[in-house]
Amino acid sequence: MISCWLGRTVRPHTDGIGGIYTAGSQTLRRKSISPDFVEPLIDIEPIENWSVMTDKSGLRRVLLNLIGNSMKFTRGGYVKVSLHRGPSIDPERMAVELVVEDTGCGMSEAFVRDKLFHPFSQEAPLAQGIGLGLAIVRSILKSPGIDGTIDVHTKVNIGTRMTIRLQPPTANDLRSWTRSPSQSLTRLPSFAMCGFHAEHRGSGMLASGIRRGLRHWYGTIVEVDVKEAGLLIVDGDSIDISKLDALGANRPMILLLCSSPVDSVVFKATQDYSGNNRLCTVVVKPIGPHALSKALSALVGGRNSTPSSPLQHSLPVLPPTSQPLPPTAQERPMRPQSNANMSRLRVLVIEDNLVNRKVLTAFLKKRNCYFDEAGDGIEGVQRFQESKGAPYHVCLMDLQMPRKDGFEAAREIRQLEAERDIPLFDGTAIQKTKIFALTGLASAEDRKKADEIGFDGYLVKPITFKALWERLQQVVDDLP
């Protein structure tokens, strides 16, 4: 079983300190680790109810921009997202503090003072993007649906801390938000933590956060030596996963924390360990309270049950956007999500944001679509030119990209189509590629410009998989 949170994990320093010893003198040794890896962290204050009324789509866009910036400019260390309750004097409102913190390159005082929130401003002129991210953040935070503020603390070569403060009205939803393991698990077995680098800030903070969560749920916890533990919490990014079975002498349960994607080595090691009535659960980083509590419930609660496959991975489904569908679309039942015909589809993804691009291509891969990807408009047009023998059915085009934006790239693609005969995919007629615009800015001016250039559709970020699936299904249905 996998509890999946979006994100990635990476690790920083090579460590030659000893190994992890188990009964019988077998050793599970740490592997060499790249110094550029970054540990993603989640820290959520455990209160009873976080339900508030706010613009969730706008707030999601703010977090995507801030986290994306942190991941882009951090090489080694951590990126941490925190949610805490601040002081409030209005009983009908909740003071919320959202913090995105990293150990990246930081920014100079002059840039923060004079240009930080200005459109098209970047302190590193050769960096990816066009400098709109923080301008969009400030614009969204000023909107009536959020009405928040942002404070920036940063130091060159030390890191950056962005603090968002909101005071949204509390919701009437009285359901408990608290994430905790099954109530039947009143006591945690004695446990040990393996593979965490205490000398690395990110890894050390991850281990401390797990211990803090366990104390909150169980009160007293007993941490023992690896050879005596009934439960092992293992950082799979710091050990040789193929040797996981070496920990099985005393048949401990194993909670394995791994980066995404889960590869064949992890799958084989966990399957091998799960044999002979031993249990191993894999959780994909970053680890939030929901993923940790769900994994513990499945692992500790399933101690006396027949083990099933430890890997049951699916792509995370994003919530729908706040924009209502037309009445006819609301009444129409959703198409069954069959992948049978999707293998015929050829898709070109042009998106400069690496995280967004990987999410889109992972979705397409799971649906058995053929796809190519490009990081900006210039590369995207080049890919299109190279596809003369097998044109793309669909192009997913980000509008704001460095070097050449989506508008100009789409205009050139339409010009290329006009200059050459594009055979239909059965070779008998002419058919244009369906170009769908992807953007976080849904202004009327952008929509008009996209229509004039010849875009076939418009998807506002964050894009839901449901909306994307329906667009692709329409294209497949029209194929001969």
Confidence of residue 332 (pLDDT cuts 50, 70, 90): very low
Tokens of 12: 């920083």
Mean pLDDT, range 160-182, rounded to an integer = 78
Beta partners for 30?
Answer: 239
pLDDT at 248: 61
- 30-48: per-residue pLDDT in tens? 555 567 788 999 999 988 7
pTM above 0.85, yes or no: no
What is the tens place of the pLDDT at every residue in 355-379?
Answer: 888 889 888 988 888 999 998 999 9
C-alpha span between 472 and 184 (Å, rounded): 45
Helix (H) or strand (E) segment spanning residue 384: helix 377-385
**Whether 111 contacts 154, CB under 8 Å:** no
Here the tokens at position 195 are: 């593979």
Cβ-contact 348, 383 below 8 angstroms: yes
* More confidently predicted of 74 and 449: 74
> How sure is the predictor about 352, in pLDDT bands with cuts at 50, 70 and 90?
confident
pLDDT for 31 equals 58
Q: What is the pLDDT of residues 207-253, one digit of tens each?
A: 999 999 999 888 889 999 888 888 999 988 888 887 777 776 678 89
Q: Which residue has the higher pLDDT, 328 or 50?
A: 50
Chain segment 245-291, per-residue pLDDT in tens: 777 667 889 999 988 667 788 888 888 887 767 888 888 899 888 88
Mean pLDDT taken over the chain: 78
pLDDT at residue 455 tops 70: yes
Buried b (16+ CB within 10 A) or exposed e, 447-467: beebeebbbbbebbbbbbbeb
What pLDDT band is residue 98 in, cutting at 50, 70 and 90? very high
Confidence of residue 16 (pLDDT cuts 50, 70, 90): very low
272 vs 413, more confident: 413
